[in-house]
Each structure stands twice: as C-alpha cells, then as structure tokens.
Amino acid sequence: MGDPKFLRRTFERPKHPWEAARMEEERKLGDKYGLKNKRELWKAQSLLRGFRGQARELQTRRRAGEPQAEREVAGLLGRLARLGMLPAGSSSLDDVLALTIDDILSRRFEWLVFSQGMAPTAWSARKLIVHGHFSIGDHKVTRPGYLVPAEEEGTIAYAPGSPLHDEEHPIRVGLKAKREAAIEIPTPPADPGPVVGGGP
C-alpha cells in the first residue's frame, strides 16, 4: 500500500484574519475575479510572495557575482513571461518585484474567458468552465483557476461538444447584442466651456 500522503497547504492564511480593511479588499477582489472563496486569493498571494522572494534572493546573489544566479534569473523571467505576467524580453528583476496580485489573478482561466467577452460575468464564466463548456486548444479545461500561458491565450474557445458552440445559443446572442450596444453608444461632445465675450 505504501505510506499515506500528507498534503501540505499551498497557501498561508493571514496572521490577523479579522482586519476590516483587508477583508474589504479581499471581498472586492473576489467579486471582481469571480473567486469561489478566500483560499483561492490566498493561494495567489502566496504565489506572488514566492516570486518576489525569489527575485530578492537572486538580486543578492547577482550582486555577489554568483554565476548560477544569472541562469536562475533568466529562468524566472522566462517563466513569468510565458505566463503572461511580464512582457517578453524583460531582463530586470525590478519588474518581478513590481508585480501585483492583479497580475496573478488576471491570468486565471475564468477571468480571461470573461475579459474576452465569452461570458457575461466572471462568476458565470466560472460556472461554465466547471461544467465543461470551454477548451484551450484541443483540450477541455474545467479548472477556473488554471493560469493560462500567454501562447495559449489565443486558443481559448467554446468546447466542440458544448451547446455554447452554437452561435444561436441564447447566451451568445445576448453577449453579441451587448457588444453591439456598447459600440453604438455615441460619445458625448466635449463641453466647449463658457463663451467669453459673447453677445446677449
């Protein structure tokens, strides 16, 4: 049978769980990105801390002139570029230290589905993903929290076996009407301001 596996947590809980300001910020992020619970946010925060910690350590080792540090810097920057969190060709660890939690959460599958206009809200995108309505390339993906690499972002589509694959599906018709309505909204003219020296 073998030894049983004892799974370790992949995130850290806040040291002070009942801080009102932090709870409000967590609520806003959860509503914006369609997160199921705070654990998903804590996992993203732990991932961000890991990237930043690695960058700080590499900065120290690079200043000490360690040859291996340069290879690890290239590996870290390449990984973040592949994930779409840094621009391709980035060569500065300061870019890693400047990452925010939004840079992590905006790479989640559910947010990309919503931001590409394939679902009405991030919450509905999550539900549709879990029920198998979306694919990346040739593979159906049912994990809303999957961090989509930059090269796979353009292959997000409705799964071939999904009812949403039909362009006449009510959800897709509603999304199309919403996009067309947004395009047709006229831009209000700029206010010329008060007329100086005008007659009565």
pLDDT in tens, the chain (200 residues): 556 676 666 778 888 878 999 999 999 999 999 999 999 999 999 999 999 999 999 999 999 999 999 999 999 999 999 999 998 888 889 999 999 999 999 999 999 999 999 999 999 999 999 999 999 999 999 999 999 999 999 999 999 999 999 999 999 999 999 888 877 655 556 555 555 554 44
User: Which superfamily is assigned to 109-184 in CATH?
Assistant: RNA-binding S4 domain (3.10.290.10)
**Under 8 Å between Cβ of 155 and 136:** yes
Nearest CA to 90 among 102, 79, 103, 77?
Answer: 77
Q: What does pTM read for this prediction?
A: 0.82
Residues of the chain with CATH 3.10.290.10: 109-184
Buried b (16+ CB within 10 A) or exposed e, 80-107: bbebbbbeeeeeebebbeebebebbbbb
